Amino acid sequence: MATTELITSAANPLVKRVRGLADRKRRRREGAFLVEGVQPVWRAVEAGWVIDTLIVVPGLLPDSALGMVAQRRAAGDRVAEVSAELAGRLTDRDRPPGLFAVVRARTTGLAELPVPPDAVFVALHQAGNPGNLGTVVRTADAVGAAGVLLLGDTADPYAPAAVKASMGSLFGLPVVAVPSPEDFLGWARTHGVAVLAASGYAAEAHWTVDFRPPLALLLGSEGEGLPDSLLAAADRRVRIPMVGTAESLNLAVAAGVLLYEARRSSLTEGLTG
């Protein structure tokens, strides 16, 4: 049985390591990242992700989480305790959570990604905002999507803002880094996955097109959208109509609109089919 380690100094190697995981290069080098909060940590545990270290803030840990911590300690996981003041140095939240975990990253390739007949994927091309990325992962999980594909140079799904925004959904579905758009398009052709590309200039509104799976909803960055080459390669191009003065929708909002339209379409087809 592992013992609880009490940490009181900011110079402690574990504290330094956790703070260092805010850096993307450090996360890649160590193959680990930080998770904050009881619910996200518990989802990582339930999904079978490898927990490197649990970090408990005794005065802030809810009683409901005591059993989980005791269970992980009994299983041999490393458990450390830190003061609330020291925990404040591990997060950018106004009030630190009562539980943190250093979790081992997972790598999933396109070749390992299942494509069931009813699969709906979200593909993000060069999405740069980690908070948006985490929100897309959370929404994709909520509608039962089969995975989130990250094309090219995107934000890191293990960045603190992305992990926080996903609210534990990062552990519930595959998030796959795809080196290039060409790799994505080749995979889609091989598996019979239709590609619907979102563009504010598309002729068809999103509620008029066929969302029949297997399907990948392709979205670009908020600033630049999708390049012409990807728009041309898609099977369909769709727009989300807007009637106000806004020039565009937030990426995560646009992904949510399309995901729920795909979900609504599948439910409607199931009732009438």
pLDDT at 14 exceeding the cut of 70: yes
pLDDT at 266 exceeding the cut of 90: no
Kindly report the average pLDDT of the chain as a whole number.
92
Residues 89, 80, 161: CA angle, nearest 5 degrees: 40
Residues 111, 143, 156: CA angle, nearest 5 degrees: 55
Question: Quick check: 97 and 36 in contact, CB under 8 A?
Answer: yes
Express each pLDDT in 189-208 by its tens digit: 999 999 999 998 889 999 99
Q: What is the pLDDT of residue 4?
A: 62
Helix residue ranges per DSSP H, the chain: 13-20, 24-30, 38-46, 66-74, 84-87, 130-142, 160-166, 181-191, 228-233, 251-272
Helix residue ranges per DSSP H, 7-95: 13-20, 24-30, 38-46, 66-74, 84-87
Question: Quick check: 187 and 226 in contact, CB under 8 A?
Answer: no
Q: What is the pLDDT of residue 267?
A: 73
Mean pLDDT of 157-168: 97
pLDDT at 271 exceeding the cut of 50: no
pLDDT at 258 exceeding the cut of 60: yes
Express each pLDDT in 109-124 by its tens digit: 999 999 999 999 999 9
Between 254 and 5, residue with greater pLDDT: 254
Q: What is the pLDDT of residue 268?
A: 67
Among 76, 38, 44, which Cα is nearest to 57's? Answer: 38
pLDDT at 272 exceeding the cut of 50: no
Mean pLDDT of 55-59: 92
The sign of the torsion formed by the CA atoms of 68, 98, 148, 212 equals: positive
pLDDT category of residue 99 using cuts at 50, 70 and 90: very high
